[in-house]
């Protein structure tokens, strides 16, 4: 393993970020640890830093809605490992996050040693899930179909879909991504086709079904 890494801690609780920072400081000799307290901040960090070894993401951060935020971050750098970290170990949400490309799940109740072990495994390219969590099988065929459809989106299309879920207009998305409005219209058309819907409203409604609303209630 390399002697140093670049981590991003994305959580809105300063005390918990401090605990994670302490756990990560024991990995590598001179690792860089970046922090974000809301979704806009973590999105900016990922946009500005291409070389990130691991992101630890709370799905219930201000500015995002569950898995839609995860999908947006995957669209920025699709190869950057992102681990979900949450106080709510809902097996259904965790399974969907893993299906969408998460590198693992760390419960907020985990101790320092468990966090370090999980991070080391994910840095080695493995998927980490603590023992005792029951994933079950996806019983909602519509959700299963939607996850498969989202997997066909290009990284840029994933970012556009997440921005649609935020309620942004085409011209606003174009400004954020520094592309033309015509390009965004083409992306939206492709997204609708891949998701099997007729309108952007339907696309957002479908996305909301896997966005982990339970996390927001349990927070």
pLDDT exceeds 80 at position 20: yes
Q: Which residue has the higher pLDDT, 51 or 64?
A: 51
**What is the rounded (10 degree) CA torsion for 218, 138, 202, 74?**
70
CB 42 within 8 A of CB 61: yes
For the stretch 128-142, pLDDT in tens is: 988 877 776 667 788
- Can you tell me the mean pLDDT for 162-188? 93
Per the prediction, the chain carries an average pLDDT of: 86
| 141-218: in CATH 3.40.800.10 | no
pLDDT exceeds 70 at position 173: yes
Q: Minimum mean pLDDT among 11-20, 65-74, 82-91, 209-218: which range?
A: 209-218
pLDDT exceeds 60 at position 218: no
Tell which residue, 62, 70, 77, has the closest CA to residue 94.
70
Q: Minimum mean pLDDT among 22-31, 33-42, 181-190: which range?
A: 22-31
- Can you tell me the mean pLDDT for 31-47? 92
**pLDDT band at 217, cuts 50/70/90?**
very low
pLDDT exceeds 70 at position 3: no
Residue range(s) of every CATH 1.10.10.10 domain in the chain: 141-218
pLDDT exceeds 60 at position 216: no
211 CB-contact burial (10 Å; exposed 0-12 / middle 13-18 / buried 19+) = buried
CATH of span 6-123: 3.40.50.2300
For the stretch 82-123, pLDDT in tens is: 999 987 767 777 888 888 999 999 988 888 999 999 999 999
Determine the pLDDT at residue 197.
94
Residue range(s) of every CATH 3.40.50.2300 domain in the chain: 6-123
- Can you tell me the mean pLDDT for 31-59? 91
Sheet holding 32-36, edge to edge: 32-36, 6-10, 54-57, 82-86, 104-107
> Could you give the 3-state DSSP secondary structure of residue 50?
coil
């Amino acid at each position: 393993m390399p002697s140093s890494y670049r981590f991003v801690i994305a959580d809105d609780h300063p005390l918990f970020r401090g605990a994670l920072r302490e756990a990560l400081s024991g990995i590598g000799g001179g690792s860089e640890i970046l922090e974000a307290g809301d979704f806009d901040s973590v999105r900016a960090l990922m946009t500005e830093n291409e070389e990130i070894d691991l992101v630890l993401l709370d799905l219930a951060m201000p500015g995002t809605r569950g898995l839609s935020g995860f999908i947006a971050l995957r669209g920025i750098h699709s190869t950057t490992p992102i681990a979900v970290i949450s106080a709510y170990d809902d097996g259904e949400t965790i399974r969907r996050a893993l299906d969408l490309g998460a590198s693992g799940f760390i419960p907020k109740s985990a101790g320092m040693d468990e966090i370090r072990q999980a991070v080391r495994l994910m840095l080695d390219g493995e998927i980490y899930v603590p023992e005792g969590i029951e994933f079950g099988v996806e019983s909602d065929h519509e959700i299963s179909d939607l996850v498969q459809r989202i997997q066909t989106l290009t990284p840029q299309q994933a970012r556009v879909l997440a921005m649609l879920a935020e309620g942004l207009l085409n011209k606003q998305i174009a400004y954020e991504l520094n592309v033309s409005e015509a390009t965004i219209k083409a992306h939206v058309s492709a997204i609708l086709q891949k998701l099997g819907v007729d309108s952007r409203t339907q696309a957002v409604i479908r996305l909301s079904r896997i966005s982990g609303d339970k996390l927001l209630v349990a927070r």
